[in-house]
Structure 1
Amino acid sequence: MKKSVILILAMIFSLSIYSCRETTQEKTEEAAEAIGEDIEAGAEEAGEKIKKGAEKVEKKVKEEIDEEIHETDDVNNEEATDDAA
């Protein structure tokens, strides 16, 4: 009878350890998914900021090119007369 009690206790102990392991594994998987989602959101945000910055640069470059073509550069609040001089 003593062996049966020890065997039953050993089985209960084994089951409790196994269930704890599954819980830990589930929590780890959930944490990994959350990290992945955070990385994805951060990458999307960075991409949007880069795109907005590129659009600003593109607009400014177009303005500068237009000013050069039409000789309307405004340097030190004065109209540019000749850039070659």
Structure 2
Amino acid sequence: MKKKSGTSMYDDEMLNTILAVFEEIVNILKENQNNDSLFYDSANVKRLLNISDSTLFRIRKSQDIPYVKIGRKIFYPKSFFINTLKK
């Protein structure tokens, strides 16, 4: 691919602006990776406890595990697992 000779100052400014925006996006994504969420979803809990869908359903229905349902998705507080596994 040939590069045009004589790029305008506007093109250089636009490129610098785009690069700055991408750099900001990358920094935000890196910060979000370090911040753990406060909840696990069902897939995380099943993987953590090595259980099936039906087992998680039974545990949830027996009220042995706290959960929050938002729409059709179920979330489990991370603090419950941290405190339970410490004991």
Superposition TM-score tier, normalisation by shorter sequence: 0.3 to 0.5
Higher strand residue share: 2
Q: Which has the higher contact order (CA 8 A, sep 6+)?
A: 2
Higher helix residue share: 1
TM-score of the superposed pair, with normalisation by structure 2: 0.39
TM-score of the superposed pair, with normalisation by structure 1: 0.40
Larger radius of gyration: 1
